[in-house]
Structure 1
Amino acid sequence: MYIGLDLGTSGLKAILIDDDQRIVAEANAPLTNERPHDGWSEQAPQSWLDACDRVMAALGRKADLSAVRGLGLSGQMHGATLLDAADEVLRPCILWNDTRAHKEAAALDADPRFREVTGNIVFPGFTAPKLLWVRNNEPDTFEKVSKVLLPKDYLRFYLTGEFVGDMSDSAGTSWFDTGARDWSDDLLAATGMDRSFMPRLVEGSETSGQVRVDLAAKWGLPANCIVAGGGGDNAASAIGVGVVKAGQAFVSLGTSGVLFAANDGYQPDAGTAVHTFCHALPDTWHQMGVILAASDALNWYGRLTGQSAADLTARLGALEAPGKTRFLPYLGGERTPLNDAAIRGAFVGLEHATDTAAGTRAVLEGVTYAIRDCAEALAATGTRIDRLLAVGGGSRSRYWCEAIATALGVPVDLPVAGDFGGAFGAARLGMMAATGQGAEIATTPETQASIAPVTGLTAAFEDGFARFKAAQTAIKGLT
């Protein structure tokens, strides 16, 4: 059997699978993040360790863990977890959706080496600019930094006692030579660091260490349980849904929104604001467009109206042509394709006839068009998308999936009931590391439905996208 741990922003999820990749047991532990100032987002790393103890204990109550051969890790990307020389955490982790380092990011991005070597824009949410922010604003803390770990790799340190990272997660730090799949000495030096601050690297399907003997005994694991390299949350999710070859893609409608496409080679185009990262498998890469608020935008609107996101979408009927009301989903800045930490969201075209349902449709359409923006950015790099799998909580809305299929002009497949996300992908990576198997086990799940574009509304959605782009331009002039 094999365990996958997915350290998300809102919780830690654990999945136990058997040798046939059937889910035997699962457990969840919620997490919270703090926003002490505008644009800030932090978490206490100790909360991840406490959550790990809770989910492992829960799995142990549901199943015998003595046959577990491997454990894989998935996690939220870009977070800056800072340790001192005694391996103690120096401050709360600065998370992926924290934009305080926008000035530092712009300064690094102005150095052409960063785009050339990493294949990406230096976004405020990436790790390197956060370290510059700490140096500029918390110099006493910066002077004590001995190790910089991504969130899941701090969890790995707890599990194994080893400082190890993987290629897919490390590619989102702005210190990584994405083509060479290694740390860049030049980029580290440009931020006053060197390799000694970084964990050693393994591929996602390789072994990174073994679970500590004391923890194995505590949780009922065998003494030789290995821990795989794992991957960043989206790369691990791609392993979970079998998106590992060119033409395969998925759209994730979680807190953030991701349009993820696998590539057989390395083909960066930083100017598009598309993320080009290593995949969690050797010699493979992926590209993705990222928007910072997907289901988060719908949840925000739900709080505004006093209704749950599920209730708002349940009241919608068949897909309708976009109305006059438009929504810009930039509640905390945006990545692809805008690369703008300051831009903020808006409702445009409100009128007396705008009711709650019209607002709900506008929110879904706004996020859909932001994903369409990502699709156009991916296409500009030469990446093709033949069809999409839809994952994440938002994919439970058929209305939303029909809007995405229609706006992008590609079928959207819905997997059969089950969890094929980051935790499942992490378990698969643990299985690969323990058995020596490779991408052949990362199969695509059976689909329960394939949602075709509503061709009768194609022209209306094209017109709606043009209005969305016009509103986007207007909003950019106000921030």
Structure 2
Amino acid sequence: MISFIGLDFQPGRASAAALGQDLSVPARTSAAVAGCYEEDGTGVQCIPPAEWLRAGGFALQELYCGLPLKSRKIWGLGLSGPAGWIALDLDFEPLCDLRLPPAAGLLDDLRDWLSRNPRLEPRISLILSPKDLFRFRMSGAIAADATSACAAGLLSARRRDWDRDKLEAADLSTRWFPPVFPSSAPTSRLNQDGMRQTGLPGSPWLVAGSISSLASMIASADMGARKLWFPGAGEHPVYSIGKRQPGETPAVPPGYWLSESPIEDQLLLVREAPAHAGCTAGDIETELEGAGYEVEGIESLKAEAELGAAALAAVGSGLLKSWTRYYTLLQKLPAASSGSQGDAEPQDASPGS
């Protein structure tokens, strides 16, 4: 049976899951990401890039070892991770640690870092999101997905590419930023070094992927037009506007950003600040109604982001055929397990476990 793999990165952990064509989950694993620290005075979380790559590769090695033999035919891999960035020099070596700024603060953090490191600016050749650094190191491909560009506030809705006007206004070179792809689009295949570091044979594909919160959303429920995803305190509520309408630019309420959905041709409103402990779905409805949006349904289930990343690989392969097919299969899963899509328990792949 063909499997699809999802890999999600977080500051303390890289988590991987395999997804079958029937949405069964034959294996899961995770690996600790060490060395994360908070930069003094900025609230930015920083992670050594070598540790990020090690944890992702190790999680995938352990996942593949845990797969039943019948599930070891891997089509490809989907990636998800937090909003953030890293600058690479002309030899594609890191000029800084991975930087994960607070919500909606990526552009400000990049500009602040450049102002504090003026001698490094001429050496920058490429700026990548955290998950896209893993793609680059494992496949050699330079790519970004639309949700990451939206989270940075730098996607041109008209062109579905980096907003050149915003980049120029911020005095940022457009040549630093990689091509933007839809989330389920295949971008590259693992190269020899990538296969060695991940333990995945056969040079599987990598699809563009998504930021973690939206990968979790698509694995949780069918988010049709005018639906609200409200997974609870500490999470970013998301409202589905629905299909993109040619020539229209939807209104964006204060405190939200307009985002492409990982599901192509769908638009979302993502709340910049996570819901606090006392926040309810009704509070979010009130915010949206103030901008003329009607909520017709609320989804609260929160699935693991790595399952959403694997679903992106499945749809990108063409073997699952469509998101309609994916959600039809998802609805057939037992209600108690639909949030986890299977019976496999996560295995901790930390050394010595």
Question: TM range, normalised to the smaller chain?
Answer: 0.7 to 0.9
Q: 1:50 maps to what in 2?
A: 54
Distance 2:199 2:12 in 1: 27
CA distance in 2, matches of 1:372, 1:82: 41
Query: Cα offset for 1:282?
Result: 1.8
Q: How far apart are 1:248 and its partner, in Å?
A: 2.9
Q: Which is worse superposed, 61-70 or 15-24?
A: 61-70
Residue identity over aligned pairs, in percent, reads 20
C-alpha deviations, 1:213-237, integer Å up to 9, x for none? 2332554434241111111112211
- Conservation of the 8 A alpha-carbon contact between 1:205 and 1:433: yes
**TM superposition shift of 1:135:** 2.0
Partner of 1:386: 296
Q: Distance in 1 between matches of 2:27 and 2:160?
A: 34
Q: 1:75 to 1:213 in 2, by over 3 A?
A: same
Q: Bigger relative contact order, structure 1 or 2, given CA contacts below 8 A and separation 6+? A: 2
| Counterpart-to-counterpart distance in 2, 1:218 and 1:74 | 18
Any idea what SS the aligned residue of 2:300 has? strand
Match of 1:35, as an amino acid? E
The RMSD of aligned alpha carbons is 2.4
Identify the match of residue 433 of structure 1 among 283, 304, 316: 316
**1:69 is paired with a residue of what secondary structure?**
strand
- Please give the secondary structure, in 1, of the residue aligned with 2:52: helix
Q: Are the aligned partners of 2:138 and 2:191 in contact in 1 as well (CA < 8 Å)?
A: yes
Distance, in Å, in 2 between the alignment partners of 1:178 and 1:140 is: 33
Q: Tell me the residue number matched to 1:150.
A: 129
SS in 2 for 1:433: helix
d(CA) in 1 for partners of 2:283 and 2:272?
10
CA drift of 1:171 comes to 1.1
Are 1:185 and 2:164 matched, yes or no? yes
Q: CA deviation at 1:447?
A: 3.6
Work out which of the residue numbers 204, 225, 229 in structure 1 matches 2:204.
Answer: 225
Would the alpha carbon gap of residues 382 and 191 (structure 1) be closer, same or farther in structure 2, given more than 3 Å must change?
Answer: same
Question: Could you tell me whether the CA contact under 8 Å between 2:252 and 2:269 is conserved in 1?
Answer: no
Contact 1:16 1:427 in 2 (8 A): yes
* 1:200 matched residue in structure 2: 179
Matched, 1:61 2:65: yes
| 1:90 corresponds to | 95
Q: Which of 3, 6, 17 is the aligned partner of 1:4? A: 6
Structure with larger Rg: 1
- 1:40 matched to 2:43: yes
| C-alpha distance in 2 between matches for 1:219 and 1:291 | 34
| Separation of aligned partners in 1, 2:27 and 2:221 | 21
Q: Distance in 2 between matches of 1:251 and 1:84?
A: 40
Q: Is 1:247 aligned with 2:237?
A: no
Q: CA deviation at 1:91?
A: 0.9
> Are the counterparts in 1 of residues 101 and 109 from structure 2 also a CA contact under 8 Å?
no
Instruction: Find the residue that maps to 1:130 and give its secondary structure.
Output: helix
Matched with 1:276 is 258
Aligned-partner Cα distance in 2 for 1:221–1:29: 16
Alpha-carbon distance in 2 for matches of 1:9, 1:433: 27
Is residue 2:22 matched to residue 1:16? no
Q: Distance in 2 between matches of 1:219 and 1:273?
A: 39
What are the Cα deviations for residues 148-174 of structure 1, in whole angstroms up to 9, with x where unaligned?
111111111122111101111111122
Amino acid at match of 1:22: S
The amino acid that maps onto 1:379 is E
Would you say the 8 A contact 1:84–1:145 is kept in 2?
yes
* 8 Å Cα contact 1:248/1:262 also seen in 2: yes
Q: 2:186–2:206: 8 Å Cα contact kept in structure 1?
A: yes
Residue aligning to 1:176: 155
Shift of 1:212: 1.4
TM-score (structure 2 length as normaliser): 0.83
CA drift at 1:381: 3.0
Residue type of the alignment partner of 2:138: L
Seen in structure 2, the aligned counterparts of structure 1 residues 163 and 433 have a Cα distance that, compared at 3 Å, is: same
Match in the other structure for 1:417:
none
- Greater share of helix residues, 1 or 2? 1
Give unpaired runs (5+ residues) of structure 2: 338-353
State the number of aligned residues: 322
Query: What amino acid is aligned across from residue 140 of structure 1 in structure 2?
Result: R
- Of residues 440-449 and 67-76 in structure 1, the stretch that sits farther from structure 2 once superposed is 440-449
Structure 1 unaligned spans of 5+ = 99-122, 295-328, 330-363, 393-419, 450-479
SS at match of 1:223: coil
Counterpart of 2:102 in 1: which secondary structure?
A: coil
Partner of 1:313: none
Q: Is the 8 A contact 1:273 1:289 kept in 2?
A: yes
Q: How many Å separate the matches in 2 of 1:13 and 1:203?
A: 22
Contact 2:226 2:242 in 1 (8 A): no
User: How far apart, CA to CA, are the structure 2 residues paired with 1:187 and 1:142?
Assistant: 18
Q: Corresponding residue for 2:348?
A: none
Per the alignment, in what secondary structure is the counterpart of residue 430 of structure 1?
helix
Distance 1:384 1:70 in 2: 38
Q: Secondary structure at the match of 1:73?
A: strand
Q: In structure 2, what is the equivalent of residue 261 of structure 1?
A: 239
SS in 2 for 1:237: helix
Q: Deviations over 1:153-204 (max 9, x none)?
A: 1111122111101111111122211343111222121222333211112111
What's the CA shift for 1:239? 1.7
CA distance in 1, matches of 2:40, 2:283: 29
In the other structure, the counterpart of 2:341 is: none
